[in-house]
Structures are given as C-alpha cells and as structure tokens.
Structure 1
Amino acid sequence: MTESNFPFSRDYSGYPLLSARMLIENRVYRSCFETALMTMINMRSTGIPVALDFTPQWAERSIGHTWNALLTNEKKIIAFGSFTDEEPGILHKACENMVKVFRYTYTMNHKLLELNLKEKEVPGTFRNLFIRDVTEQYMQTTDLTVPVKFNADIETHYGYLAAFDNSEWVPLDFGKRDGSKIRFGNIGRTAALLPVVIDASGFVQPVNYPFSITRDDEIRYFIPDTVNRTTLTLKRKYPAAYHSAEGGRRLMQGVMQAANEPDFSDAVSFRAFETWQPAVTIRADTLPPYRYWRYIAPPETPIAIAEMMFIDPVDTARKITGKIIGTEGCSGYNVKEHLTDGDLLTYYESPNWGKNDWIGMDFGAPVSLSKVICYAVSDANSIEFGDTFELFYHNGKEWRSLGKKTAYDAVLHYGDAPSGNALFVLKNLTKGVETRIFTYENDEQVWW
C-alpha cells in the first residue's frame, strides 16, 4: 500500500465514515482517521496487531489527529503515521504537543458508560463508549484535583479539561466531580488547560482559572493581576511555524540605505536587521528628505521580502509609493510588484545568491517619511499595517476585552494590561482566522 496507489483527499470531508469496502474500492481518503483506519485494516488482515490511536485536540493548535500503533510482544507500542516517511518507533508528529491519547477498542469502557448515563450533555468524543485512555504510553502524566471556584451552582457529576483550539475551549478529558472538587488522571504536561463543566444547555463553563502542568509536575495557574498593570508589545497573533521563522531569518543581516544620489554614493545605512523579527521598522521622522531608499541582501543570500512600506510623516496611516528599482529579474514568480501589493502572503525574491542584490524605491524627488517597514516572508499572522486588532485576557470565567486598535506599525502596544501570569489572545478583526493564546514573559509573547 503506497501513497501513489491510495491518494489522500479532503473532498469528502463532512460526509459519514466510509466503510472498509468503499475505502478499498475508491482508494481516496479524506482524513488522517481514514488513512490510519485503512492501514489498520490491511495490517490486521495479515496478522499484525495494529491499533488506532488519536488525540481529540492538539494542545497548541486547532483540530486533533489519528495515527497507528503497533503492539509488540513486550507490551510496548511503536507509533507510526500512515503514508509518511517517518521511521517506525519515532513518535508520529513529535513536534506537536498533546496531553491526551485514546485508543479505539472492541471492549466497552464502563467509565464512559457511567458518564453518559449520569450526564445529559456529553462532548462528542466521549459519546463513543469504545475508546480508552492510553496517554501514559506516550508521555509522562499527572493526576490532579481541581477545586471548583466558579459556576459551582451548575449541578454535574463530571467535569472536563479543555484545550484551546484557536477559537474556543474543546474538552479532551473527563473527571469525576466530588462536590467542590474534580479529579483528573493521566494528564500530559506543559499545555494550557481550562477546567470546565457542561451546563444544561450544552455550553462549556469554566470552574477555575486556566493552568498548565510544568515538566516538574507543578500546577501553574494563569491568574491575571488586574491591580498592577503593564504594557505589552505584540508582534504576532499566532506562533511562527517554520515558514515564518525562516522568513524572518532571511531578513536578518540585510542593510537599509537612504540616499539622494542614484548610485547611493551619499548613502546613509541602517543596520536594523540584526535579530530575528517578523517585521522591521526604521524610524525616519528625524531624518532629512531622501529620494532613494533600498534594502541590500545579506551576504550569500538572495532577498526575500513580503512588503516594503514607506509611511507619510503627517498622515501616518498613509503609504507613499514610487518607482521600484533594484537588481534586475526575480526568482520564479516572486516579482518585484509583490513588494507593494498589500498582501503579506506574496513576496519578492531576487534571482542571485551572494551578489549583493538590492531592491528599493525611487520617489522622483526627496521625500520625508515617518517610518519604513519591511515585512519578512510569513504566514500573514504578523501585526499587519492598517488592520484592526482586539486583545483579550482570561479572568477565569471569560475573555475580557482590552480594546481594539488599528495597527500603524509592525507592532501593537497595549498599555494598562494585567500583569502577573495572565493569559491573552489577540484577534485580527480585519482578516484571517488563526489566533493563539499566550502569556507575556520577559517582554516577549510565550505561546501556549
């Protein structure tokens, strides 16, 4: 069974589960669950004991995942992903953080039966009685008891631990409630979790502050200090994955220059690209007018820039444009016009390595500017100029807004924010869907 013989497709997402016969006959799979299911069917048919394991929700991003696990004679597991090049035994998607793993079984889980008999509202994952908790086979775990501080009047027999899926809290484990306490077992560590109950209308209701379990097995609650306030400087609304991290790296060590001579013989240089940043701002409000501006590629590297913005000194919401100048040509379809198209998902890439390629702007005459902004190649989750954002913090019961701001720079500054171990989320109200919870530690966003 190879990937070429069994192509992957999402065209059937939203339809009911396909039967084994239909999977084999059509050879098109819509999800990780069906690829793992087909792998299990094939391997079990030849006598290989393979299980179907899943996490209902990744701890640090949206959705969950399903994969396979080979059960050895030594009662150990060898986890692997279907249709991947990973070596068996290397944890599938090891870079993803998870706190719960379940296995599909033929035997009914009587704990889940009791949950469904006692509770009117049960999350979809736990309506399936034929799964069992195998988290301890994948990671170090913790048993804990969470006090009920909020919504104690909601009468339930069980509570849940929920992870943030980029928009809401999704239950991924359940525990028995004993009056003002809820007991949970086999919980993975280093993730932000919210203890909740489900009310009579089926809504998730917090019962305590969000928390994480440290690697040292300590509970760390995310409690905001609303008395002592602080200022946040925010650079992104979502953590930088490889593509965005690499984009910021490629911007490093470049040099920006301003001049009034076309050969830049009178250039003033700005070395503002020394550290990794999703975007770099050069303050120009104290500079004399210049006709020419350019960015020179780092040594041994072609240019890769998503946007180059020149901001008016009076109307700081207005971008000034001129004629794009610089090294001839481009790499592939990454043309110069992408520098000013207002789309962070497109970018300009120069054609040469190690030849001091450069790109810039001729304004036709010397102009004054308030700032110059260079955006790195990224996933467009940076603080984009002109977009409106809203920052929230979690007070234990709900998300509370700290106000809306329109970005006129590559960073956002929020004064009067709660200090302490507060948990925040920043939303772009103009565009995009990805957002992620974070704390603010040592003047940096720490993602959860």
Structure 2
Amino acid sequence: MEYRQSAHSVIDRFMKIVCLFSGLAVIVCTGCNREKERNLEILEKAVYEHYGHKAEDSLKLVAAKFLIENMPGHFSVRDEDYLGQVASIAQTKGISYPDKKALEMFASYYGEGAERLSDADAVSPDFLIRHIDRAFEQRAKFPWLRDIDDETFFEYLLSYRFLNEPLDYWRDSLTIAPQAFSDMISCDNLKYDPAAVASHVYTDRESGDMGGYAYVRHLPGVTADKGCYFFAAANLLRYRASGIPSAIDFIPAYANRNGGHCWVSVISSDGRFGKSEIDPGRRAPKIYRYMYSRTNRYADYRMREYLSEMLGNPFIKDVTDCYLNTRDVTVPVSGMSGGKLPNLCFLAVFNAGQWIPVAVAERKMKRATFDRMAVGNVYLPVYYWRRELKAFNYPFIVNERDGMVYLIPDHSRTRKIRISRKYPYNEKLNGYCKSLEGMEIWGSDERSFDRARRLCVLKKGSGDVIFDNSVSLSGKFRYLKLLSRKPVADLSEIVVYDEKGHAVGCVPTDSCFKKSTDRDPLTYVRYVRDNKKEMVIDLKSLVGITRIVCVPRNDGNSVFPGSVYELFYYGMDGWESLGIKRAEDYNVEYEDVPAGALYWLKCLTGGVEERIFTFTDKDGIRFF
C-alpha cells in the first residue's frame, strides 16, 4: 500500500518504556489542577457548541465528550534534546514522515525527568474538532469500517494521539494514496475486514520500509534490543492512518526469560485480534493494552499508597485472556507485617535477577484474588512496604491441572542436586550438539598419523550438554585428529586430560581452529568437511589420555570449570544461600538442599541469563 505525505541492565530500561508509554497524570499542585480544569471547561464549551446544533453531528458530539472526559492524564514528552536530534535526522537523512513520527513517538522512552505538557493545557478546540472531523471522514470512506461499532471506533481510531509524542495534525499528513485505496476496495476478500486489510498493509513493501529504525540505535541511550518499541509505534501510526482499529499490547516482563515485548494488535469487527506476536517459548504472565480511555480501576490507589507507574497507569487494560489460558488465583495473606497494612497486593515474576510485579489485586481481609493469570508460570505474592517489595506467601506455580502448587522448602527432607546449567537448554543448542555427534577423534604419536588409533566417537546421552568421553586405550599420543561425518560441525572447546586427571595444554596445528582451545565457552570454530582442512590438535608432548571433553557451540550458560556459583532457595524471608562453590568440572553439586523449594543458581563470575527452577525425582531440574 502506498502512502501520500503532505507534512509530520535490561529490565529496568524496559520498565521505563512501559511506564512512559502509559501517559500517567502528574499532579504538581492544586493550582495546576484547577488551571487544567478551567482549560478543559473552555475546550468543552467550544467543542460542544460546535457540534451541538446539527442532528447529523450528534455522534460527533458523543465522540468529543469521550475524548475530553478521558483527556486528563494524557501528555506529551518534551525532551528537547531527543526531539532536536530526531528533527536533525529527518532533515539531513531525508527519512519519511511516518518514520519521523515513529521516532517522535519513541520519545516516550526518554520522558522520565523530562518536561511534560498536559493535553488539558495543549489541546485547542480547533485542533480537536479537526481530528474528530477527519476521523469521521475516514470512517465514512473506508468499507472495512462499515461494521465497526461506536465503542471500537472511539477507542481504537478516534484518538488524536498514540503514545506521549508531540501533538500534530497527523491525519492531514498521512493518507492512503488514491490508487492504493482503489486497489483495496476492489478486493472483495479484503475490503470489509480490518484484520485482512491490516495484513495487507503490514506485508506490502510499498507501504514503507521503516527506514527510521536504522537511526534508533544512534540516538542517546538507545540499545539495539529496543526495536519492538519502534516497530510498534510505526505500525500503530500506519494502521490507524489506514483506518484500521488497532492498539499496542505489551508484556511488562517475561516469566521465563529477561526482558519484555510490545506489538500492535488489530481489532476486528467480531472482537477477535488480528496480528499477535506471542511466542510459545517466551512465556507471558500478563498482557496489557494501551487505551485512550481510563480503564484501570487501580490507578486511583496511587493517591493513597505506593503503586508502580505501570500498574497504576489509568490507560491500560488487561487482555491476557484474549491470548492465553488463564486462571483466577486466590492467595492467603500470611506474611504481612508492620503497622497499617496496604490495600494492594501484587504477583511478581522473576526477570533479570529480580522480582517484577506484573499483576495487582485488592486485599480482602486475609486473602487477595488475582484475575486472569497466565498458567505455566511461577509467581511470588508480594506487597510494598515503604516502597520495598516483601513477600506475603511462598512462590507458587499456576498450572491447568492442579491450579496452584506452592514451592515451600522442606528442611526435614534434604537431597543432593547436581547442576550443569543455569539457563534452559533449547533446540538451537541441541542442534549445535547434534552437529558434533558421531565425530571421531583419532590419536597418533606422529604428525603423519600413519599409526593412528581411534580414541572415541562422540555420542550424546539424554540430558547431556557436552560430550564427555573416557579413553581406555593404552599408549601415549601427541596429536589428535577430529573427523566429522556431518557437513558442518560447531566446536567451542576440546579439553584433553592426562593420567592424573589434569587438563593438558594443547594447540591446533592450523590457526583457523585456535578458538577450540582458548578456554572461552562463547567462542567456537566451524569445521566444514568439504573445505579440505584437517582439524589436528598438538598436545606438545606424548600424553597418556584418559578423558576427552568436547563442548559444542553454546550460550555460555552451562557450568564451566573455574567459574564461581552460588545456589539459593526461596524462603519466607527471601533468597537463602546454600553456599558458594568454584566449579571443578562441568557441573556443581550441592548437598543438604531442602526439598520442594524454588531454586536459583547464580554465576558470580559473569553472565546475566539465569533462571529459577524446581527439582523433583521425576522431572529432575525444571526451569521457569
């Protein structure tokens, strides 16, 4: 679809974005509030007067009331440094208006501490009337809006803003080109279905390549992993300019990995969602939607007790059950202490080494009921005491079969746990491992390998993440040759042990394979069978070999010799340490571990990817 333009570490930053996209009201003083009220009264009088005389404008009058009544709390971020750089990029690089507008919407990322301009102070009657008129013209023109009800139209198309970007007349600046519109309405399978039109807009390369994203990472403080925020902003702009009811949905924090995500969902005439980006491998505990209207009843609590900006955002709606299987869960309040008990309780997920609240509920005497919690996740019930999170019960798993399973440490039953990874093993890592399977390692006392003997064949056992091979052949060897039957094999490390169990220093004869002996688990060499290069390892002297360990290409989250680890279990007072250990091998063992608890293996020498887990005799280690 073509457009015609006429004018326009890891989890803390994510939460800032979520908070700033919300558009929360900032109450500076009573006098400021009264001034805003007077401005709104002036706006109401002028706009209501404009639409109050003609019968054909009656729905526009209702629309104007919807926008004005929900306007308090919406604002524009005025980060002059950021917006100035966006203007410079637009002028010098010649990026399109949609991309420039998307970068301005991305300014929400920088709003913390920046000046905020309230819509109640900034929106003029002429501005609002113009947007309402253009939105109704759009509704009358596009056939895919014929079956859209007024509520959907008001919430997902009428608004004059998207996030916390500076306001402008974007409806005048971005319209569908006449030829593109003609093509769309000629397609009977598209023209009455907003979701089908959205799919066409999204895949049609003529709609713009979002080239502005190339400049996102050059803006101050922006990291490359924030691409979803730019694309969500850009898609929301393009969809609404095309008359497609849409909104940004977001996962505030994943329940089984670091970070979160946001995207644009399309609202179709039957209430179902069009495009979504739920990855089964990335578990969402909650999914919220940014709205224009005030839909969060918990927002009013911010006047009385502490509530995070995200969960206190008046303009978010819980849509978890539109995407995922959910359950309502009731948690007994058993661990609150202090003076006056708070009215609000929260469920938190473990993300980036900390507990992040993702759901809120009112405390009713000695219990709190949380609606629509996604199943398959571990949650910790918490409350705020002097702005610090404290648990009021043990963590628990929500699943479809058993409902809630509490993870309570049982000190009367202890066990030994052997741990080889601190992060879930996945299909990509398994692919790297399988690339080495069947590789043969031959040994010789001379470089020619005339009297070579096969030392081992790499075989992967169930649950193995490395190849650990015992060598029982007598004799001593100086050279090893690795032969693979696979076209490609990715090897991170090869470690050879002598008769005393000591690792032997070694070096490849070809420098292109030197990373295979550098003792860095994150580097690797790629052995390609057809490139005619032999992978030969020189042990520098004759060695009686008793063990050979081959480590496939990996993510660095396995246990490696020399690294230092600490194992925790979660008790009522928080994480309790079971001790610090330096790994002597490719696993660490802990004894006297209380059964039934939630555990966390933390690497003290590097890395940020670590997941909580349970341990049972049946399942062994299960990561969450």
TM bucket normalised to smaller: 0.7 to 0.9
Residue 264 of structure 1: how far off its partner (Å): 6.8
Structure 1 distance, partners of 2:244, 2:559, is: 50
Tell me if 1:367 matches 2:543: yes
Aligned position for 1:57: 253
Tell me if 1:426 matches 2:601: yes
Aligned position for 1:117: 303
Aligned position for 2:352: 166
Residue 18 of structure 1: how far off its partner (Å): 6.9
In structure 1, what residue type is equivalent to 2:620? Answer: E
Aligned position for 1:69: 265
2:377 paired residue among 171, 187, 191: 191
2:493 paired residue among 292, 301, 307: 307
Aligned position for 1:341: 518
Q: How does 1:294-443 map to 2 (within 5 A)?
A: 294=480, 296-311=482-497, 314=500, 319-325=503-509, 335-352=512-529, 359-368=535-544, 371-419=547-595, 421-441=596-616, 442=618
Residue 272 of structure 1: how far off its partner (Å): 4.9
* SS of structure 1 residue aligned to 2:529: coil
2:397 paired residue among 212, 216, 223: 212
Aligned position for 1:226: 411
Give deviations 1:176-235, integer Å, cap 9, x for gaps. Answer: 1012211111111001110100111x1111111111111225111112222221111211
In structure 2, what residue type is equivalent to 1:433? Answer: V
Larger Cα Rg: Structure 1 or Structure 2?
2
Residue 396 of structure 1: how far off its partner (Å): 3.3
Give deviations 1:49-80, integer Å, cap 9, x for gaps. Answer: 01111111111111211111111111111133
Aligned position for 2:242: 46
Check the 8 A contact 1:299/1:354 in 2, yes or no: no
Aligned position for 2:464: 277
1:140 paired residue among 318, 325, 328: 325
Aligned position for 1:180: 366
Check the 8 A contact 2:480/2:537 in 1, yes or no: yes
Check the 8 A contact 2:436/2:458 in 1, yes or no: no
Check the 8 A contact 2:507/2:517 in 1, yes or no: no
* SS of structure 2 residue aligned to 1:186: strand
Residue 354 of structure 1: how far off its partner (Å): 11
Check the 8 A contact 2:495/2:548 in 1, yes or no: yes
Give deviations 1:71-112, integer Å, cap 9, x for gaps. Answer: 1111111133xxxxxxxxxx4434321121111111113512
Structure 2 distance, partners of 1:298, 1:414, is: 37
Q: Which moved more, 1:154-163 or 1:305-314?
A: 305-314
2:312 paired residue among 104, 127, 141: 127
Residue 251 of structure 1: how far off its partner (Å): 2.4
Structure 1 distance, partners of 2:620, 2:441, is: 26
Structure 2 distance, partners of 1:358, 1:214, is: 52
Check the 8 A contact 2:249/2:264 in 1, yes or no: yes
Residue 337 of structure 1: how far off its partner (Å): 0.5
* SS of structure 2 residue aligned to 1:375: strand
Q: 1:369 to 1:190 in 2, by over 3 A?
A: same
Q: 1:423 to 1:347 in 2, by over 3 A?
A: same
Structure 2 distance, partners of 1:49, 1:252, is: 51
Check the 8 A contact 1:243/1:379 in 2, yes or no: no
Q: Which moved more, 1:156-165 or 1:396-405?
A: 396-405
In structure 1, what residue type is equivalent to 2:612? Answer: I
Structure 1 distance, partners of 2:268, 2:576, is: 50
Residue 425 of structure 1: how far off its partner (Å): 0.9
Long gaps (5+) in structure 1: 81-90, 330-334
Structure 2 distance, partners of 1:302, 1:358, is: 13
Residue 151 of structure 1: how far off its partner (Å): 2.9
Residue 353 of structure 1: how far off its partner (Å): 5.1
Tell me if 1:446 matches 2:622: yes
- Greater fraction of residues in helix: 2
Structure 2 distance, partners of 1:38, 1:153, is: 47
Find runs of 4+ consecutive structure 1 residues off by over 6 angstroms.
Answer: 20-26
Give deviations 1:237-257, integer Å, cap 9, x for gaps. Answer: 111344423222222232344
In structure 2, what residue type is equivalent to 1:343? Answer: D
* SS of structure 1 residue aligned to 2:275: strand
Structure 2 distance, partners of 1:215, 1:189, is: 6
Structure 2 distance, partners of 1:181, 1:118, is: 20
Seq. identity, %: 25
Aligned position for 1:84: none
Check the 8 A contact 1:102/1:131 in 2, yes or no: yes
Structure 2 distance, partners of 1:71, 1:56, is: 21
* SS of structure 1 residue aligned to 2:372: strand
1:156 paired residue among 338, 342, 346: 342
Give deviations 1:12-69, integer Å, cap 9, x for gaps. Answer: 8963387267999992445423321221122112211011111111111112111111
Check the 8 A contact 1:290/1:365 in 2, yes or no: no
In structure 2, what residue type is equivalent to 1:224? Answer: P
Aligned position for 1:32: 228
* SS of structure 2 residue aligned to 1:114: helix
- Greater fraction of residues in strand: 1
Q: 1:297 to 1:78 in 2, by over 3 A?
A: farther
